[in-house]
Amino acid sequence: MKFKNLFFIAFFAALTVMLNAAPSNVQAFYRYGQTFITWTEDGSSTYGIYRHTSAITSSNIGQAIKIATVDDSSSNCKYGIGAPIGQKHWVIDSINIVSDTGLGEELADSQGLFVHTTKEASGNFYYAVTVGGGTDVSLNVTGPIAESKAEIRPIAVYCVDTLGRKHITYTFFMDYSIWNPGWTGYIYNFLVCLTSNWRIDKDTLFTMYSFYGGKSTRLERIYSYPQGYSVAVKNDPVAHDAPTATVLQDWHYGHKNAAGDSVVNYSEYRIIKSLLFVSKYLKADLNSSLGAGGSMGGSGMWAMGSRYPSVFSAVYCDQGATDMSNPSFVWHGNIAGSVGSLAENLPIKNLRFDDPDHPELDEYLQKYNGTPVWDWLNLQEQLTVRVGDEMSFFNACHGRLDESIDWPTQGRPFGSILKDSKRTFSYIVNNSSHNWNGFEACNFGMLFTGGASYYPYKYKTNKSMPGFSGVNIPYDSVCVKLKTATWTVLQDSLDTWEMTVLAGEPCKITPRRCQGFQASTGDKFDIYVNNVLTESDVEADEYGLVTTSVIDLTTAKTIKIVNTYRVSNPSEAMKIKAKYAEIAALPNPFNPDIWLQYKNPVSGRVVMNIYNLNGKLIKKVMDRVLPENQYGSAFWDATDESGKKVSSGIYIVIATGKYTHVAKSIVLTK
């Protein structure tokens, strides 16, 4: 009986503690567009974070906005992010990178943390932290906190001077409201290495190098590689531990949002944000910035070079994937765990940077929001459908014995696309298996002041470069293409583009990344080679690109392209563009379904319908707004609007857009 009474006494004592439990010592401060809220935990498993424009009480908490629910490890470093520097808990006060060494002061294990990103222009705000779904706020409120919308910045949390360099680990607190924190959290570290010649008080800018690794290449405490670079940056490829115990690798793009209805470029966004910070506050020169990576990192560099040409003047892609959508690709299933299946083919969302110093980032990418993710992750397709977009100078390598970024799906098909891509590139195919090739494919003469990657980097973003096409890249053998090509810009003005080019072989040339030269669809140009007129009235294509015929560039030639006629009437230009509309259908004949793709030359609404030979509408398969010069895809499963299978025979696909009306016959077999 005595033990029974003791049990009930202990039980009710514990119950009393639980009923009275509440987080305490709630504090908050504002910095760089974000408010940092901390509290002392009370042993509960979850905590609710509330925000209001008035002091929060039990009577008005219903009007407060619940901005987050976090668990009891909110101050803990997760996913191995802090391991290289011995960090177990987040640091929220910056260290001084000039005078401090070691790790900053970590939060205690008993503390909770939430970081809120301000959306309002300005205002005073109050915060409360409650237990789970509770509303008791007796001991757990703080405010007012003066806040304003501003550029968010990372803070330095660790610094060490060694090997003649300063190595700094920064922590970036991303915007929780647009993140999927259930995947890999919303707080990340990245590493910056400053070489001995770097000085914050210098007026000059410093070249920048950033490296992107594979699944086993996590952050280090120090970074010893960047010999020829004043500023080097390395981001962390944080992996997600799926419920199936399969580690879903980062692949440097992103993953599903919290709702699971789209794929967001979370990884790419935080990487670019880190480079923008280093450029602005650590004097790195985005006009002279090289990105490099191998394997998964090489895949990331193919992608980022194709999407951020204003951030990377050139990229090196060592054994990178070029078509993640191919079901036979070794890592396709792993990627599908992050972005969804081919059948889902979820739309992408590229987050806005809203950076007043770099408006081109949003101008370049926002128009592609809604693109099916597997189309976006297929570089082989993107090089073709986005031929009008500027991209970085690609330097790349594939190995014929590579079984990870496997040659049959990623290397062998790529040469036939790259050779006519109208891109600036240096490309090598060798007999290597899956390993790091040590910058083998780099065009050292154009990229560096010497013949190796450790010499100072010199390639600039604000210089025009030649796009190559008609290059003879063999289908399935070792080759070295354009590795020693050289070029010098002579003129880049409104009406004239002139460049001396030595490619080492015959090829076509397209002016790319022009700083002054302008061409629009329908404009006409004369082309001179060594001051001899070789072509007249060459018309700029639907992308506004001018391309020469094949020129023997085994020896250096000076190529000059001169405007002779400009289309002045906008409607005339649109009608010229309209002639480039086309429908692709694969396979054709088909059974049981067919993939249809429409190339849209003029921005606007596009409707694609299927008709029988009697002119009867069978099914509408597309009705969407497409940007100029973009592709829209649709599948037809040989059913009508009611879902009933149709009979075999000939059908007509008609796509109608602004200024366009295109038809194509398709055959459904038995």
**CB atoms < 10 A from the CB of 40, how many?**
17
Residue 1 has pLDDT above 70, yes or no: no
Q: Which CATH class is domain 486-567?
A: mainly beta
Q: Could you read off the pLDDT of 377-397 as tens digits, one per residue?
A: 999 999 988 999 999 999 999
What confidence score (pLDDT) does residue 578 get? 74
How far is 190 from 61, CA to CA, in rounded Å?
38
**Taking a C-beta distance cutoff of 8 angstroms, is the pair 193, 166 a contact?**
yes
Q: Give me 43's structure tokens.
A: 């042993």
What confidence score (pLDDT) does residue 569 get? 66
Residue 19 has pLDDT above 70, yes or no: no
What confidence score (pLDDT) does residue 3 get? 43
What confidence score (pLDDT) does residue 12 get? 40
Can you list the positions of beta strands (E) in 58-121? 65-71, 102-103, 111-117
What is the pTM assigned to this prediction? 0.85
The model's confidence at residue 229, banded by pLDDT at 50, 70 and 90, is: low
Angle at 297 between CA 367 and CA 189, to 5 degrees: 85
Residue 599 has pLDDT above 90, yes or no: no
Higher pLDDT, 289 or 632: 289
The model's confidence at residue 181, banded by pLDDT at 50, 70 and 90, is: very high
What confidence score (pLDDT) does residue 452 get? 84
Higher pLDDT, 216 or 595: 595
Q: Which CATH class is domain 21-150?
A: mainly beta
Can you list the positions of beta strands (E) in 513-612? 524-529, 532-539, 557-565, 582-586, 594-600, 604-612
**Taking a C-beta distance cutoff of 8 angstroms, is the pair 103, 221 a contact?**
no
**% of the chain residues with pLDDT over 70:** 93
Q: What is the mean pLDDT of the chain?
A: 90
The mean pLDDT of 62-72, rounded to a whole number, is 95
Residue 16 has pLDDT above 60, yes or no: no
Residue 157 has pLDDT above 90, yes or no: yes
Place of tokens 């998964």: 296
Residue 10 has pLDDT above 50, yes or no: no
**Which of 188-202, 397-411, 594-608 shows the highest mean pLDDT?**
397-411
> CATH number of the domain at 578-668, out of 1.20.1440.230, 2.60.40.4070, 3.40.50.1820, 3.40.50.740?
2.60.40.4070
The mean pLDDT of 194-200, rounded to a whole number, is 80
Residue 571 has pLDDT above 90, yes or no: no
Q: Could you read off the pLDDT of 515-555 as tens digits, one per residue?
A: 999 998 889 999 999 999 999 999 999 889 999 999 999 99
The model's confidence at residue 196, banded by pLDDT at 50, 70 and 90, is: confident
Closest CA to 318 of 305, 330, 332: 305
Q: Could you read off the pLDDT of 466-493 as tens digits, one per residue?
A: 999 999 998 789 999 999 999 999 999 9
What confidence score (pLDDT) does residue 567 get? 86
What confidence score (pLDDT) does residue 87 get? 97
What confidence score (pLDDT) does residue 552 get? 98
Contacts of 474 (CB under 8 A, 6+ apart): 415, 429
Architecture of domain 157-484: 3-Layer(aba) Sandwich (3.40)
Residue 168 has pLDDT above 80, yes or no: yes
